[in-house]
Structure 1
Amino acid sequence: MKKASLFLFALFMFFSFQVGSVFAETPLSQTINGLVGTPYKWGGTTPTGFDCSGFLRYVFNSFGVELSRSSKEQAQEGTWVSQNDLRPGDLVFYHTFGKGISHSGIYVGNGFFAHAADDGVRIDKMSQSYYANRYVTARRILSDDLYSQIMKDN
Protein backbone atom coordinates (compact mmCIF):
# COMPACT_ATOMS: atom_id res chain seq x y z
CA MET A 1 0.00 0.00 0.00
CA LYS A 2 2.83 2.36 0.88
CA LYS A 3 4.53 1.73 -2.48
CA ALA A 4 1.26 2.31 -4.34
CA SER A 5 0.69 5.58 -2.49
CA LEU A 6 4.24 6.70 -3.19
CA PHE A 7 3.86 5.77 -6.85
CA LEU A 8 0.61 7.72 -7.16
CA PHE A 9 2.14 10.72 -5.42
CA ALA A 10 5.17 10.59 -7.74
CA LEU A 11 2.91 10.28 -10.76
CA PHE A 12 0.85 13.25 -9.58
CA MET A 13 3.98 15.33 -9.05
CA PHE A 14 5.36 14.33 -12.44
CA PHE A 15 2.24 15.46 -14.26
CA SER A 16 1.89 18.56 -12.11
CA PHE A 17 5.46 19.53 -12.91
CA GLN A 18 5.06 18.74 -16.59
CA VAL A 19 1.83 20.69 -16.95
CA GLY A 20 3.10 23.47 -14.73
CA SER A 21 6.30 23.83 -16.69
CA VAL A 22 4.35 24.04 -19.94
CA PHE A 23 1.93 26.66 -18.70
CA ALA A 24 4.03 28.84 -16.43
CA GLU A 25 5.75 32.09 -17.21
CA THR A 26 5.67 32.61 -20.98
CA PRO A 27 3.51 35.23 -22.67
CA LEU A 28 1.62 32.45 -24.50
CA SER A 29 1.00 30.41 -21.38
CA GLN A 30 -0.02 33.47 -19.36
CA THR A 31 -2.56 34.43 -22.00
CA ILE A 32 -4.00 30.92 -22.19
CA ASN A 33 -3.99 30.35 -18.42
CA GLY A 34 -5.82 33.63 -17.94
CA LEU A 35 -8.63 32.33 -20.14
CA VAL A 36 -8.98 28.81 -18.70
CA GLY A 37 -12.47 28.48 -17.29
CA THR A 38 -14.01 31.05 -19.63
CA PRO A 39 -17.47 29.73 -20.56
CA TYR A 40 -18.28 28.27 -23.96
CA LYS A 41 -20.45 30.43 -26.19
CA TRP A 42 -21.37 29.48 -29.76
CA GLY A 43 -19.86 32.22 -31.94
CA GLY A 44 -18.09 33.72 -28.92
CA THR A 45 -14.94 35.72 -29.51
CA THR A 46 -14.34 37.47 -26.17
CA PRO A 47 -13.52 36.52 -22.57
CA THR A 48 -17.25 36.61 -21.80
CA GLY A 49 -17.50 33.42 -23.85
CA PHE A 50 -15.60 31.60 -26.63
CA ASP A 51 -16.19 28.98 -29.22
CA CYS A 52 -13.08 27.09 -30.33
CA SER A 53 -12.10 29.25 -33.30
CA GLY A 54 -12.98 32.45 -31.43
CA PHE A 55 -10.63 31.36 -28.64
CA LEU A 56 -7.78 30.88 -31.13
CA ARG A 57 -8.47 34.23 -32.77
CA TYR A 58 -8.49 36.02 -29.43
CA VAL A 59 -5.25 34.45 -28.18
CA PHE A 60 -3.30 35.05 -31.38
CA ASN A 61 -4.71 38.54 -31.91
CA SER A 62 -3.11 39.46 -28.58
CA PHE A 63 0.23 38.74 -30.29
CA GLY A 64 -0.64 40.59 -33.49
CA VAL A 65 -1.55 37.48 -35.50
CA GLU A 66 -4.86 37.58 -37.34
CA LEU A 67 -6.69 34.33 -37.98
CA SER A 68 -9.77 33.53 -40.02
CA ARG A 69 -13.05 33.09 -38.14
CA SER A 70 -13.79 29.38 -38.57
CA SER A 71 -11.74 26.33 -37.65
CA LYS A 72 -12.06 25.05 -41.21
CA GLU A 73 -10.56 28.30 -42.56
CA GLN A 74 -7.88 28.41 -39.85
CA ALA A 75 -6.78 24.91 -40.90
CA GLN A 76 -5.71 26.40 -44.25
CA GLU A 77 -3.46 29.08 -42.74
CA GLY A 78 0.26 28.85 -42.03
CA THR A 79 2.11 25.67 -42.90
CA TRP A 80 1.31 22.04 -42.24
CA VAL A 81 3.21 20.44 -39.37
CA SER A 82 3.42 16.79 -38.39
CA GLN A 83 1.85 15.79 -35.09
CA ASN A 84 5.28 14.48 -34.09
CA ASP A 85 6.84 17.91 -34.64
CA LEU A 86 4.34 20.10 -32.78
CA ARG A 87 5.65 23.00 -30.73
CA PRO A 88 3.70 25.30 -28.40
CA GLY A 89 1.60 27.75 -30.37
CA ASP A 90 0.79 25.38 -33.23
CA LEU A 91 -2.87 25.00 -34.09
CA VAL A 92 -4.45 21.54 -33.88
CA PHE A 93 -7.66 20.50 -35.61
CA TYR A 94 -10.26 17.80 -35.06
CA HIS A 95 -13.46 16.44 -36.58
CA THR A 96 -15.89 16.33 -33.67
CA PHE A 97 -19.12 16.18 -35.64
CA GLY A 98 -19.96 15.62 -39.27
CA LYS A 99 -17.29 15.47 -41.91
CA GLY A 100 -14.24 17.66 -42.00
CA ILE A 101 -12.75 19.98 -39.43
CA SER A 102 -15.14 21.18 -36.73
CA HIS A 103 -12.91 21.88 -33.72
CA SER A 104 -9.58 23.59 -33.06
CA GLY A 105 -7.12 24.19 -30.27
CA ILE A 106 -3.63 25.46 -29.44
CA TYR A 107 -0.85 22.99 -28.74
CA VAL A 108 0.78 23.99 -25.44
CA GLY A 109 3.48 21.31 -25.13
CA ASN A 110 4.02 17.89 -23.60
CA GLY A 111 1.05 16.42 -25.47
CA PHE A 112 -1.50 18.96 -24.18
CA PHE A 113 -3.70 21.45 -26.02
CA ALA A 114 -5.91 24.34 -24.94
CA HIS A 115 -9.35 24.76 -26.44
CA ALA A 116 -12.86 26.04 -25.89
CA ALA A 117 -14.93 22.92 -25.24
CA ASP A 118 -18.62 22.63 -24.39
CA ASP A 119 -17.83 23.25 -20.74
CA GLY A 120 -15.49 26.18 -21.39
CA VAL A 121 -11.82 26.85 -22.06
CA ARG A 122 -9.69 24.02 -20.74
CA ILE A 123 -6.49 22.09 -21.33
CA ASP A 124 -6.64 18.44 -22.36
CA LYS A 125 -4.22 15.72 -23.32
CA MET A 126 -4.19 15.06 -27.06
CA SER A 127 -3.82 11.34 -26.39
CA GLN A 128 -7.23 11.11 -24.69
CA SER A 129 -9.11 8.65 -26.86
CA TYR A 130 -11.82 11.16 -27.81
CA TYR A 131 -9.28 13.60 -29.25
CA ALA A 132 -6.76 11.05 -30.51
CA ASN A 133 -9.49 9.39 -32.60
CA ARG A 134 -10.63 12.73 -34.06
CA TYR A 135 -7.31 14.43 -34.80
CA VAL A 136 -7.10 15.75 -38.38
CA THR A 137 -4.10 18.04 -38.82
CA ALA A 138 -1.94 20.81 -37.39
CA ARG A 139 -0.73 24.15 -38.72
CA ARG A 140 2.18 26.36 -37.73
CA ILE A 141 1.28 30.02 -37.93
CA LEU A 142 4.03 31.60 -35.84
CA SER A 143 7.28 32.73 -37.42
CA ASP A 144 10.41 31.62 -35.58
CA ASP A 145 10.94 35.20 -34.35
CA LEU A 146 7.41 35.54 -32.96
CA TYR A 147 7.63 32.05 -31.47
CA SER A 148 10.81 33.09 -29.62
CA GLN A 149 9.07 36.19 -28.28
CA ILE A 150 5.96 34.48 -26.96
CA MET A 151 7.85 31.53 -25.50
CA LYS A 152 10.48 33.48 -23.56
CA ASP A 153 10.35 33.21 -19.81
CA ASN A 154 9.01 36.31 -18.11
Structure 2
Amino acid sequence: MKLILCILTALSFFPSSSKNTEKVVPQKTVQRTIVKTQTAIDRDSIVAYAKNYLGTPYLYAGNDPKKGFDCSGFVSYVFKHFDVSLPRSSGSYKNLGTPVAPEDFKVGDILVFYGYKDKTVVGHLGIICEANGMQSKFIHSSSGKVKSVTITSLETEHYTKRFYKCINVL
Protein backbone atom coordinates (compact mmCIF):
# COMPACT_ATOMS: atom_id res chain seq x y z
CA MET A 1 0.00 0.00 0.00
CA LYS A 2 2.81 2.41 0.91
CA LEU A 3 4.65 1.58 -2.30
CA ILE A 4 1.53 2.32 -4.37
CA LEU A 5 1.07 5.64 -2.58
CA CYS A 6 4.70 6.58 -3.21
CA ILE A 7 4.44 5.70 -6.91
CA LEU A 8 1.16 7.62 -7.31
CA THR A 9 2.64 10.62 -5.53
CA ALA A 10 5.77 10.52 -7.72
CA LEU A 11 3.75 10.18 -10.92
CA SER A 12 1.61 13.17 -10.03
CA PHE A 13 4.66 15.43 -10.32
CA PHE A 14 5.60 14.41 -13.89
CA PRO A 15 3.74 15.85 -16.90
CA SER A 16 2.15 13.49 -19.38
CA SER A 17 4.46 12.36 -22.19
CA SER A 18 1.79 12.87 -24.88
CA LYS A 19 2.14 15.83 -27.19
CA ASN A 20 -1.29 17.04 -26.28
CA THR A 21 -1.39 20.81 -25.78
CA GLU A 22 -4.10 20.67 -23.16
CA LYS A 23 -3.39 22.39 -19.89
CA VAL A 24 -1.97 19.94 -17.36
CA VAL A 25 -3.98 20.02 -14.15
CA PRO A 26 -2.00 18.86 -11.14
CA GLN A 27 -3.41 15.79 -9.48
CA LYS A 28 -4.54 15.96 -5.90
CA THR A 29 -1.81 15.40 -3.39
CA VAL A 30 -2.15 12.00 -1.78
CA GLN A 31 -2.76 12.37 1.94
CA ARG A 32 -0.99 9.83 4.13
CA THR A 33 -1.94 9.20 7.70
CA ILE A 34 0.96 8.49 9.96
CA VAL A 35 0.05 6.14 12.77
CA LYS A 36 2.06 6.84 15.90
CA THR A 37 2.92 3.71 17.81
CA GLN A 38 2.44 4.33 21.51
CA THR A 39 5.44 2.97 23.37
CA ALA A 40 4.73 4.65 26.69
CA ILE A 41 1.50 5.41 28.46
CA ASP A 42 0.43 9.00 28.09
CA ARG A 43 0.23 10.36 31.64
CA ASP A 44 -2.37 12.97 30.66
CA SER A 45 -4.58 10.15 29.38
CA ILE A 46 -4.44 8.49 32.79
CA VAL A 47 -5.68 11.66 34.46
CA ALA A 48 -8.33 12.32 31.82
CA TYR A 49 -9.63 8.78 32.29
CA ALA A 50 -9.59 9.12 36.09
CA LYS A 51 -11.57 12.38 35.88
CA ASN A 52 -14.42 10.48 34.22
CA TYR A 53 -15.16 9.09 37.68
CA LEU A 54 -15.29 12.36 39.63
CA GLY A 55 -18.26 12.16 41.99
CA THR A 56 -18.37 8.34 42.04
CA PRO A 57 -19.30 7.41 45.62
CA TYR A 58 -16.78 6.14 48.13
CA LEU A 59 -17.36 2.48 48.99
CA TYR A 60 -15.11 0.57 51.35
CA ALA A 61 -13.42 -2.27 49.39
CA GLY A 62 -15.09 -0.94 46.22
CA ASN A 63 -13.52 -1.22 42.79
CA ASP A 64 -16.53 -0.87 40.51
CA PRO A 65 -17.60 2.53 39.12
CA LYS A 66 -21.26 1.45 39.19
CA LYS A 67 -21.11 0.77 42.94
CA GLY A 68 -18.21 2.89 44.21
CA PHE A 69 -14.48 2.94 44.92
CA ASP A 70 -12.18 2.98 47.88
CA CYS A 71 -8.80 4.66 47.30
CA SER A 72 -6.86 1.59 46.17
CA GLY A 73 -9.82 0.29 44.18
CA PHE A 74 -9.93 3.57 42.28
CA VAL A 75 -6.17 3.69 41.60
CA SER A 76 -5.99 0.05 40.50
CA TYR A 77 -9.12 0.45 38.33
CA VAL A 78 -7.70 3.49 36.51
CA PHE A 79 -4.30 1.93 35.85
CA LYS A 80 -5.81 -1.42 34.82
CA HIS A 81 -7.50 0.45 31.94
CA PHE A 82 -3.94 1.15 30.69
CA ASP A 83 -2.79 -2.45 31.28
CA VAL A 84 -0.82 -1.57 34.41
CA SER A 85 -1.53 -4.09 37.14
CA LEU A 86 -1.39 -2.63 40.65
CA PRO A 87 -2.18 -4.01 44.10
CA ARG A 88 -5.73 -3.82 45.36
CA SER A 89 -4.74 -2.90 48.93
CA SER A 90 -3.21 0.45 49.90
CA GLY A 91 -0.89 -1.30 52.37
CA SER A 92 0.78 -3.08 49.44
CA TYR A 93 2.11 0.26 48.16
CA LYS A 94 4.54 0.71 51.06
CA ASN A 95 7.41 -0.93 49.16
CA LEU A 96 6.10 -0.51 45.61
CA GLY A 97 7.37 1.63 42.76
CA THR A 98 10.24 4.01 42.27
CA PRO A 99 10.16 6.86 44.83
CA VAL A 100 10.05 10.34 43.30
CA ALA A 101 11.35 13.57 44.87
CA PRO A 102 8.78 16.42 45.08
CA GLU A 103 10.58 18.48 42.44
CA ASP A 104 10.23 15.53 40.05
CA PHE A 105 6.53 14.76 40.62
CA LYS A 106 4.68 14.10 37.35
CA VAL A 107 1.07 13.78 36.37
CA GLY A 108 0.17 10.10 36.72
CA ASP A 109 2.48 9.43 39.66
CA ILE A 110 0.85 7.89 42.73
CA LEU A 111 0.83 9.62 46.10
CA VAL A 112 1.02 7.27 49.09
CA PHE A 113 -0.19 8.38 52.52
CA TYR A 114 -0.11 6.94 56.01
CA GLY A 115 -3.45 6.20 57.62
CA TYR A 116 -4.99 9.02 59.64
CA LYS A 117 -5.04 6.86 62.78
CA ASP A 118 -1.76 4.96 62.43
CA LYS A 119 1.29 6.76 61.07
CA THR A 120 3.17 3.50 60.42
CA VAL A 121 0.68 1.89 58.04
CA VAL A 122 -0.12 3.04 54.51
CA GLY A 123 -3.77 4.03 54.46
CA HIS A 124 -4.52 6.16 51.41
CA LEU A 125 -3.57 6.68 47.73
CA GLY A 126 -4.16 9.19 44.98
CA ILE A 127 -3.04 9.98 41.43
CA ILE A 128 -1.31 13.28 40.72
CA CYS A 129 -3.40 15.30 38.26
CA GLU A 130 -1.50 18.62 38.53
CA ALA A 131 2.20 18.27 39.33
CA ASN A 132 3.71 21.06 41.40
CA GLY A 133 5.85 19.45 44.10
CA MET A 134 4.23 19.50 47.52
CA GLN A 135 1.52 21.83 46.12
CA SER A 136 0.40 19.21 43.60
CA LYS A 137 -3.25 18.24 43.22
CA PHE A 138 -4.38 14.64 43.18
CA ILE A 139 -7.48 12.70 42.28
CA HIS A 140 -8.60 10.04 44.75
CA SER A 141 -11.58 8.31 46.30
CA SER A 142 -12.06 10.03 49.64
CA SER A 143 -13.79 8.55 52.66
CA GLY A 144 -13.82 12.02 54.25
CA LYS A 145 -16.52 14.70 54.04
CA VAL A 146 -16.84 14.40 50.26
CA LYS A 147 -17.23 10.59 50.28
CA SER A 148 -16.52 10.30 46.55
CA VAL A 149 -13.84 10.58 43.88
CA THR A 150 -12.55 14.13 44.14
CA ILE A 151 -9.52 16.33 43.51
CA THR A 152 -7.59 17.64 46.51
CA SER A 153 -4.45 19.71 47.02
CA LEU A 154 -1.51 17.91 48.59
CA GLU A 155 -0.75 21.08 50.55
CA THR A 156 -3.84 20.69 52.74
CA GLU A 157 -2.70 19.97 56.28
CA HIS A 158 -4.62 16.70 56.47
CA TYR A 159 -2.59 15.24 53.60
CA THR A 160 0.74 17.00 54.15
CA LYS A 161 0.97 15.46 57.64
CA ARG A 162 0.18 11.99 56.30
CA PHE A 163 2.37 12.10 53.16
CA TYR A 164 4.63 9.04 52.94
CA LYS A 165 5.96 9.10 49.37
CA CYS A 166 5.24 9.57 45.70
CA ILE A 167 5.94 6.70 43.33
CA ASN A 168 6.26 6.22 39.60
CA VAL A 169 4.78 2.90 38.47
CA LEU A 170 5.07 3.51 34.72
What TM-score do the two structures reach when normalised by structure 1? 0.72
Q: How many residues of Structure 1 are paired with residues of Structure 2 in the alignment?
A: 117
Q: Which runs of 5+ in 2 are unaligned?
A: 1-43
**CA deviation after TM superposition for structure 1 residue 66, in Å:** 0.2
Structure-2 residue corresponding to 1:108:
129
Q: What code does the residue aligned with 1:53 have?
A: S
What does 1:2-151 align with in structure 2 at a 5 Å threshold? 26-47=44-65, 48-95=67-114, 96-98=116-118, 99-110=120-131, 111-118=136-143, 119-142=147-170
SS of equivalent to 2:52: helix
| Contact 1:75/1:138, CA 8 A, preserved across alignment | no
Q: Which structure exhibits the higher relative contact order, with contacts defined as CA atoms closer than 8 Å and separated by 6 or more residues?
A: 1
- 1:16-69 C-alpha deviation (Å, 9 max, x unpaired): xxxxxxxxxx42232111101000000001102000000000000000000011
More helix by share: 1
- In our comparison, the structure showing a higher alpha carbon Rg is 2
| Contact 1:50/1:116, CA 8 A, preserved across alignment | yes
Q: What code does the residue aligned with 1:46 have?
A: D
| Contact 2:110/2:125, CA 8 A, preserved across alignment | yes
* Aligned-partner Cα distance in 1 for 2:151–2:167: 18
C-alpha RMSD of the superposition? 1.2
Identity %: 32
What TM-score do the two structures reach when normalised by structure 2? 0.65
